[in-house]
Amino acid sequence: MDDVVRRLLHVQVLLAQVRRVVARVPGTPSARLVASVCEENNVIHQVLTLAQAQALAEANLKERMTALYHADEATQRLGKQWVRWLAWERGQGSYTERRDVERWLHTVFRELSASVPALVARYGEQETKYIVPVDYRPQTAKGV
């Protein structure tokens, strides 16, 4: 679980960077993405709190990990929409912001995908299918 915790801490840093850049751009798509990033950060905080507790509640941890992967799916989708919207609104002037957000979100996806083997080792292949969406599992991933 140490590997998963390390990766989640990295994901928190990346999401803070995404939030900082996106929050500077006014508009409804920005507000939606910021809200999604905040929700994902809240779930990560809950997972980290559960993972660090001595009397680890397995059911709660599995539930929060499931919520984390689903929150990231929403963030990934909204992030792609935001990048398209910003390109339409600002054109080439927004290239750096778009590139940075795309790169950070892709790294978040890779970190969560890289956490899957630790979850498989902890819960087994069959149970992990209910925790981790298909796109994040290495053998079935289409890639983002």
Q: pLDDT by residue (tens digit) across 37-84?
A: 999 999 999 999 888 775 556 778 889 999 999 999 999 999 999 999
pTM of the model: 0.86
Sequence spans of domains, the chain: 2-136
Q: Count the residues in the chain.
A: 144
C-alpha span between 14 and 42 (Å, rounded): 14
CATH of 2-136, one of 1.10.3470, 1.10.287, 1.10.30, 1.20.120: 1.20.120
Per-residue model confidence as pLDDT tens digits over 17-35? 999 999 999 999 999 999 9
Of the pLDDT bands very low, low, confident and very high (cuts 50, 70, 90), residue 103 is very high
Largest CA distance in the chain: 52
